[in-house]
Structure 1
């Protein structure tokens, strides 16, 4: 998958992630140190992260509930209560303009930033190219899916207020992220849940890959449940999405020391560790690491996440011997053979090779069959209580929107 050790790849960036509740209450924004899954490096200056921060960005101004904004198609949207604020961006409930105020059950949210800030602009490019509702619905029909876990893009534009220009984007509203549920489950998901999640994530990855993008940062905190259906999961945070194949021409394999270790260190691909731009095989490799962690509760290199070179070298070593990776993470006899087969298949992919997504899905479907289950679309999100698994539905009042703030 990746090439061996590359000299000069070191350092780790820092970011903050703000989780915001629908009640409008604010959470403290700061660096999270519970695990490196909360550490995200800006793509452009990865090697310098930690030594100097990104350019200072202007703060977003508050908008009053009821304010009307008009998108590029001249459609009007009414803002509701603010449900999140970060260092330079705000998120509000939103609905199409009407005589009524925007209620707490609003179906959409609007993300707002000063127009000269960069993160929302980057994310907008992905949504405009690949996430229009008609694109997603066409894919669902032609591939006979029940749903596709890509947020729908409903509109965007510029809004002037008090002589300042703001960029905004309207997308679907979502529920809780999987990281919170994973931690509530004592950092374990059942084998069925892991396989069900991964099947839906493969659907998502195939879609965005076919639309010339890779995600590069698949992890539980970037996977949100549907606002209305807790059996549906959506991949969010496309601020770092990379257009790997513009106009049908795949980017070439090129190691760049300035980009070493991009992404979330414990999950990121070997290519990313070596400073290579993300590709399809990298997304699939990251998903493999997620599956292993969700099922076993850990990854072998989590003992030293502060040293990204150590993490990279560990991944390279285990890639050469997938069986040893499985022995390390699953010492019991009943190992998930389907995950081993998945990892073996992914490691054979060339950098520019198109994956056989159905082959990977078939491997996971065989795993479901091996445990006497099937792809029924149900996510068995259970909570460990007194050492045993007990079914517990996701609380309907726990609705979160995720806003990533690079600092």
Structure 2
């Protein structure tokens, strides 16, 4: 576990452009421009071609934080333990899915600059986040998009859960389109990921008010409000709230986000009164029936119970059937209607075109074929195992009702 101290979660002093970093496997990376930052640290463009400057269409990024910080440490452990590319490819073949929305991990290491120690992680570059697209669409997605996104995230969460982890912070800001193929969507930011079932032993249900209300308040699960360690049902509950917001443009508790207890009470009421509590939020010209069924199935889960992912996915696929759309087909973002702050419009949100150079670096498919998911063609560099066990992040809800489930590695 990384040491705690006054520097924890402090943004690092920026590293200089063109600095060369060496990962744990001995591979060198050249830093390009800084393109973002978060609570954990900074994000730079990067390239393994260290003899030349990093170009703006680079297909790798490097995340950097101070060594004593925690979020990137947790994210690294997730990728090293649960997201090896050979395991992802086997899973995709087993499940017969074209792409799995987990970003490709390329390596990690340590660096020194001006007397400070840094941790870094090399990842594939991703594109625009769904929160920005959601706002561009008038804070509403059409139903077909909501069901597509939900079904794809179920594929991703099932894989994560089967490898002993939960994500804990699913939201549009953490869902990013592919950089080379903007019709793929990836679940990013594993800083709150939690190993809920180490070595097949599910964590016990235990409420801890001191750890209550962890996560993003709009979407976090009822378990999280109570300070219970994260579980599979919590991830699925969060996904259900996301889908409800994407379709309806708002959530019943959005006016009380500064009062976590009020938000918890509203979520408990919604889950206790399903399906009517969701159906009454039907947007004009659409229906929340699939989301109501989805949340009802999630609500029936015991804390340690393994979800029936196929059943949950079929609920969403049934809603797509009438539109003739495939859940893994193109993502056609367009405004779904009006909200209080946006006028109704029929304009389509333009997705960024993949840069030609990046497409060459990632490998082009023959003309007429869809670009390959990077999880099918890229092999991440194996990282060295990190020592230490992370502390549970707060989560919470109904007491356990079933035997603990074993999770396959």
Equivalent residue number for residue 348 of structure 2: 391
Q: Describe the SS at the equivalent of 1:391.
A: coil
Q: Structure 1's 94 and 341: CA in aligned 2 closer, same or farther, altered over 3 A? A: same
For the 8 Å contact 1:69–1:77, the answer to whether it is kept is yes
Q: Given the superposition, is the C-alpha separation of residues 94 and 272 from structure 1 closer, same or farther in structure 2, using an over 3 Å criterion? A: same
Structure in which a larger fraction of residues adopt strand: 1
Structure 1 pair 337–328 and aligned structure 2 pair: CA distance change class (3 A): closer
Supply the distance in 2 between the matched residues of 1:102 and 1:278 (Cα, whole angstroms): 39
> Secondary structure of 1:381's partner?
coil
3-state SS of 1:176 partner: strand
Which stretches in structure 2 are left out of the alignment for 5+ residues?
A: 356-409
Q: Which residue of 2 aligns with 1:240?
A: 192
- In structure 2, relative to structure 1, the CA distance for the partners of 1:301 and 1:290 (3 Å cut) is same
How far apart, in 1, do the equivalents of 2:38 and 2:204 lie?
Answer: 36
Show CA shifts across 1:370-398 (max 9, x none).
Answer: 34444352212114696232223224499
Deviations 1:230-279 (CA, angstroms, capped at 9, x unpaired): 11111111111111001110000000011111111121111111111110
Judge conservation of contact 1:300–1:328 (CA < 8 Å) in 2: no
Matched residue pairs, number?
346
Q: Helix, strand or coil for the counterpart of 2:347?
A: strand
TM-score, normalised with respect to structure 2 = 0.79
Which residue of the partner structure matches residue 160 of structure 1?
A: 112
Alignment of 1:5-404 (within 5 A): 55-57=6-8, 59-85=11-37, 89-330=41-282, 334-383=286-335, 387-396=344-353
Question: Alpha-carbon deviation of 1:179?
Answer: 0.6
Please, what is the CA RMSD of the aligned residues?
2.3
Distance (whole Å) between structure 1 residues aligned to residue 263 and residue 233 of structure 2: 18
What does the per-residue CA deviation read over 1:342-392, in whole Å, with 9 as the maximum and x for residues that have no partner? 111111111001111111111111111134444352212114696232223
Name the TM-score, length of structure 1 as normaliser.
0.80
Q: Is the contact made by 2:45 and 2:62 (CA closer than 8 Å) also made in structure 1?
A: yes
How far residue 205 of structure 1 moved from its aligned partner, in angstroms, is: 0.4
Q: Residues of 1 paired with 2:112 and 2:7: CA distance?
A: 21
Q: Is the 8 A contact 1:70 1:77 kept in 2?
A: yes
- SS of the equivalent of 1:261 reads coil
Task: Report the alpha carbon displacement of residue 337 of structure 1 after superposing the two structures with TM.
Answer: 2.0
